[in-house]
């Protein structure tokens, strides 16, 4: 099977590509920048075949050329600008062009070339303020009961992408649906300039490699979900014969703090430690906001396709450490 990943050299795209290549598929990575040499070398050792096609997803012409050049069976749309407030203020058009317009171009080309299934990779940020306890939400958040109240431009764009995907599926008859990813950490994350909100675990891992102390501004509580588990869930959705819904949460469901996660990390890096910042002390970990979204429910995923994500944080961190030690050059 040939699978196209729009945003294929991004954080989630690389995890997904790695899993697909392990399964022996042919993967087309469509992105503006090629994978780093460490990722390319790792992928070359896997059973499947991969191709990189430099593409601007905001260009309908370039997107059409990719579909005309490759016999695509399935598509994942993971191209995204994960924006912070400064980028949203200075370049709002960039956020909307990649996160929404690019999806429209890919949907149109996929439908016109007979692609059998397209999965739009959205985000739990689509819940926006509707996922916060201070706005009256109660967890776990689910696709039916929880009302999204997107607030940032990024969350607005992700919520809009779900609507675009749903509508185009109805118009074209193509099997297209969306997933909302939880708070993700794991291999292949990179400060590429397209993501303004790097995960706490990645920030901690870089401090651990230097033998420094991580200072956290507050005690968080998030449904931290491992990127390789996310890739497994996405492939399960790609392969399932039938599905009932057009939107699925993908989350480990349980919550833990970054400090909990870093305690496991510290067991592998003796010079590393982590603690909360003292009053008035500057932190060196950014948690992106003063309040954490409530955990998401993956009940639909379990009921509809029988897939559950791993809930124990320790094996995930241990696997992450193995990847870090094997690919330290990835962050250089």
Q: How many Cβ atoms sit within 10 Å of the Cβ of residue 173?
A: 9
Could you read off the pLDDT of 83-129 as tens digits, one per residue? 888 889 999 999 999 999 999 999 999 999 999 999 999 999 999 99
Evaluate if residue 199 carries a pLDDT over 70: yes
If pLDDT is split at 50, 70 and 90, which confidence band does 311 have? confident
Q: Using CA atoms, how far apart are residues 255 and 240, in angstroms rounded to an integer?
A: 28
Tens digits of residue pLDDT in 152-172: 999 999 999 999 999 999 999
Express each pLDDT in 237-277 by its tens digit.
999 999 999 999 999 999 999 999 999 999 999 999 999 99
pLDDT in tens, 276-289: 999 999 999 999 88
Domain that holds residue 161: 2-190+224-254+295-312
Residue closest to 39 by CA, chosen among 247, 227, 246, 187: 187
- Compute the mean pLDDT over every residue in the chain, rounded to the nearest whole number: 96
- CA distances for 54 relative to 104, 125, 178, 205, 317, angstroms: 18, 28, 24, 30, 32
Q: Is residue 267 part of a domain?
A: no
Could you tell me if residue 299 is inside a domain?
Answer: yes
**Residue 290 and residue 324: Cα distance in Å, rounded?**
29
Average pLDDT over residues 57-76: 98
Asked whether residue 161 is domain-assigned, the answer is yes
Q: Tokens for 116?
A: 């059998």
Q: Which residues contact 166 (CB under 8 A, 6 or more apart)?
A: 176, 177, 178, 246, 247
What pLDDT is stored for residue 33 in this prediction? 96
CB burial class (10 A; 0-12, 13-18, 19+) of residue 37?
Answer: exposed
Residue 50 lies in a domain: yes
- Which CATH number does the domain housing residue 234 bear? 3.40.50.720
- Is residue 69 situated within a structural domain? yes
Question: Per the domain annotation, does 285 fall within a domain?
Answer: no
Beta strands in 156-230 (DSSP E): 175-181, 183-185, 213-216, 224-226
Does residue 152 fall inside a structural domain?
A: yes
pLDDT at 203 exceeding the cut of 80: yes
Residue 303 included in any domain: yes
What pLDDT does 193 receive? 62
Pick from 35-49, 128-142, 188-202, 315-329: least confident: 188-202
Q: Count other C-beta atoms under 10 Å from residue 133's C-beta.
A: 12
Interatomic CA distance for residues 251 and 62, integer angstroms: 33
Dump pLDDT digits (tens) for 10-24: 999 999 999 999 999
Q: Is the pLDDT of residue 212 over 70?
A: yes
The residue to which tokens 């749309």 are assigned: 77
pLDDT (average), residues 45-58: 98
Residue 195's pLDDT band (cuts 50, 70, 90) = low
- As for how many domains the chain has, the answer is 1
């Amino acid at each position: 099977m040939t699978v196209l990943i729009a945003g294929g050299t991004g954080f989630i795209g690389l995890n997904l590509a790695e899993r697909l290549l392990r399964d022996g598929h042919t993967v087309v990575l469509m992105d503006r920048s090629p994978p780093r040499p460490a990722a390319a070398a790792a992928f070359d050792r896997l059973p499947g075949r991969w191709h990189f096609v430099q593409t601007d997803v905001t260009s309908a012409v370039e997107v059409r050329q990719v579909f005309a050049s490759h016999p695509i069976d399935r598509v994942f749309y993971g191209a995204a600008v994960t924006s912070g407030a400064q980028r949203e203020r200075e370049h709002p058009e960039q956020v909307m062009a990649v996160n929404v317009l690019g999806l429209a171009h890919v949907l149109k080309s996929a439908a016109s070339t007979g692609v059998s299934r397209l999965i739009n990779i959205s985000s739990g940020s689509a819940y926006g303020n509707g996922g916060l306890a201070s706005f009256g939400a109660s967890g776990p958040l689910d696709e039916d009961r929880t009302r999204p109240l997107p607030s940032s431009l990024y969350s607005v764009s992700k919520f809009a992408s779900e609507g675009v995907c749903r509508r185009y599926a109805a118009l074209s008859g193509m099997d297209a649906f969306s997933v909302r990813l939880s708070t993700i950490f794991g291999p292949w994350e990179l400060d590429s300039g397209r993501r303004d909100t790097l995960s706490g675990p990645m920030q901690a891992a870089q401090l651990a490699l230097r033998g420094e102390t991580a200072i956290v501004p507050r005690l968080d509580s998030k449904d931290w979900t491992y990127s390789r588990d996310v890739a497994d869930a996405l492939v399960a959705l790609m392969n399932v014969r039938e599905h009932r819904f057009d939107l699925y949460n993908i989350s480990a469901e349980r919550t833990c703090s970054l400090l909990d996660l870093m305690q496991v990390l510290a067991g592998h890096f003796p010079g590393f430690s982590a603690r909360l910042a003292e009053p008035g002390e500057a932190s060196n970990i950014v948690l992106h906001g003063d309040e954490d979204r409530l955990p998401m429910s993956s009940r639909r995923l379990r009921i509809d396709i029988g897939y559950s994500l791993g809930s124990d944080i320790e094996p995930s961190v241990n696997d992450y450490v193995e990847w870090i030690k094997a690919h330290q050059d990835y962050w250089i």
